[in-house]
Structure 1
Amino acid sequence: MLESAVTKKGQTTLPKPVRDILGVQAGDRVRYIVLDGEVRILPVRPIHRLFGVLKHDGPPVTVEEMEQAVADGASEE
């Protein structure tokens, strides 16, 4: 179990193992979710860190093909 102190201003430092697990660095933001008296800390990912996260192995598609796929998916409901 990891601990950190809370300052008079209500600030704390995330221990290095926690920062490593969350993948946060200096200047990054975190989000706090409070559920049933417990707190979860989630990293807020800047948009530039999302580059390349989705992989596509097929050929590129056109905007028209994407619009048709959306229309086809909407008509299935």
Structure 2
Amino acid sequence: MSTTVTAKGQVTIPKPLRDLLGIGPGSKVEFRRGADGSVVLVAADGKKQHSRFAGLRGHAGNGLSTDEIMSLTRGDA
């Protein structure tokens, strides 16, 4: 993957790489120099990005029973 450096020295991290590293808006990153002279991009906050659907998962709590739902849909209530 390649990207272009802007006049301000900024680059866009390609989406597959952001996904792999768990980098999202507001994430901090570090650039580290490897022993061989390479530069490595590391997510600095150490947090793994959760699925965009993670916030939708969970338990709704105590809800209506099946009989109560059927009663509401039939108009018995």
TM-score normalised by length of structure 2: 0.55
Partner of 1:62: none
Instruction: Please say if 1:37 is aligned against 2:37.
Output: yes
Instruction: Give the CA RMSD over aligned residues.
Output: 1.8
Q: State the distance in 1 between where 2:26 and 2:3 align.
A: 19
| Number of residues of Structure 1 aligned to a counterpart in Structure 2 | 47
Kindly report which structure 2 residues correspond to 1:44-55, keeping only aligned pairs within 5 A, or say none. 44-45=44-45, 49=47
Which has the larger share of helix?
Answer: 1
Q: Structure 1 counterpart of 2:45, which letter?
A: R
Which has the larger share of strand?
Answer: 1
Equivalent position SS for 2:43? strand
Q: Structure 2 counterpart of 1:3, which letter?
A: S
- Shift in Å, 1:45: 1.4
Partner of 1:28: 27
Equivalent position SS for 1:19? helix
Choose between structure 1 and 2 for higher RCO, CA contacts under 8 A separated by at least 6 residues. 2
Kindly report which structure 2 residues correspond to 1:1-77, keeping only aligned pairs within 5 A, or say none. 2-35=1-34, 36-45=36-45, 49=47
Bigger Rg, which one: 2
Q: Structure 2 counterpart of 1:30, which letter?
A: V
Unaligned runs of 5+ in 2: 49-77
Q: State the distance in 2 between where 1:45 and 1:22 align.
A: 11
